[in-house]
Amino acid sequence: MADKILKKLKIKVWRQKNAKSKGKFETYTIENISTGSSFLEMMDILNFQLIEAGIDPIAFDHDCREGICGTCSLYINGRPHGPDTEVTTCQLHMRKFKDGETIVIEPWRARAFPVIKDLVVDRTAFEKILQAGGFVSVNTGGVPDANTIPIPKEDAEESMDAAACIGCGACVAACKNASAMLFVSAKVSHLAKLPQGKVEAASRAKNMVAKMDELGFGGCTNTQACEAECPKSISITNIARLNREYLCAKVSE
């Protein structure tokens, strides 16, 4: 477990000045990285080095660095959030890499997530999907006591499993169709499993799916890549639940 030093790494990374310009790969060398450092700490060190050398540092999204805010992305060596399971890029650690290795870093690639700069993409499409119905229509105040409606523990737990989604977009990046079905289904399930959210379950599913289609995400062909790469292990059973709610909504039309 003791930290070792990776003496030399090559970082092959996507550079793109802005949304309009064409991007390309650049390769940089970095030395003496502790295996106990996080991947983004390695990026910090690389950027420090680039700034000192007069090169524009690599822009990447990140914030909490605790694996929960969903800001960080990065497609590392062909996998969203890199070569570890159940972690976001910010919790990926350098012990997962070998000395002398070339690490390839790309942004999320999806039509609905255009590149803003380098590795930063625009995930506003997720916002729009949630605004289309990812909520319970209650105002502040005037709600009943929290223990008025008992909720079976299993339902609360299943709801929580789906609610654990951090909205990072790895599911879209992993999918060959760039489908957002796992993301949408997680929100639909989170709320449909609770009596408070059940009321609007059908219309929610219908409106969110319609918005997803409108925004240019692809269809789901059950490859399960999304589940495999989800840092929060959101299950594709949620997609089945979404399909059921969606069908209910369509049948009752």
What residues numbered 50-89 form the site for other proteins, per CB under 8 A?
A: 50-52, 54-57, 59, 61-71, 84, 86-87
Please choose, from the candidates 119, 150, 236, 137, the residue with its C-alpha nearest in 3D space to the C-alpha of residue 189. 236
Q: Which of residues 92-121 bind other proteins (CB under 8 A)?
A: 93, 95, 116-117, 120
Check binding of 25 to other proteins (CB under 8 A).
no
End-to-end CA distance of the chain: 59
> Is residue 62 classed exposed, middle or buried when 0-12, 13-18 and 19+ CB atoms within 10 A define those classes?
buried
Per-residue x/- mask for other proteins, residues 175 to 214, rule CB under 8 A?
---------------xx-xx-xx-----------------
Minimum CB separation from other proteins for residue 223, in Å?
26
Please identify, using beta-carbon distances, which residue of 91 and 179 lies nearer to other proteins. Answer: 91
DSSP E strand boundaries for the chain: 5-15, 24-34, 75-76, 79-80, 102-106, 115-117, 120-121
Tell me the closest approach of the beta carbon of residue 78 to other proteins, in angstroms: 20
Q: Does 30 bind other proteins (CB under 8 A)?
A: no
Shorter beta-carbon distance to other proteins: residue 90 or 174 = 90
Q: Are 110 and 172 in contact (CB under 8 A)?
A: yes
**Binder to other proteins among 15, 23, 28, 34 (CB under 8 A)?**
34
In the list 10, 26, 77, 151, the residue contacting other proteins (rule: CB under 8 A) is: 151
- 92 touches 84 (CB < 8 A): yes
Interface residue with other proteins among 30, 104, 156, 248 (CB under 8 A) is 156
- Spell out, one character per residue from 212 to 231, where the chain touches other proteins: x when CB under 8 A holds, - when not: --------------------
**CB–CB of 15/107 below 8 Å?**
no
* Residue of the chain from 8, 98, 135, 240 that contacts other proteins (CB under 8 A): 135
* CB of 50 or CB of 104, closer to other proteins: 50
Cα separation of 77 and 47, whole Å? 19
Q: How many residues bind other proteins (CB under 8 A)?
A: 84
Question: Are 148 and 195 a contacting pair, CB within 8 Å?
Answer: no
The stretch near other proteins (CB under 8 A) out of 74-82, 97-105, 148-156, 216-224 is 148-156
Question: Is-contact 6 94, C-beta < 8 A?
Answer: yes
Query: Residue 189, SS3?
Result: helix
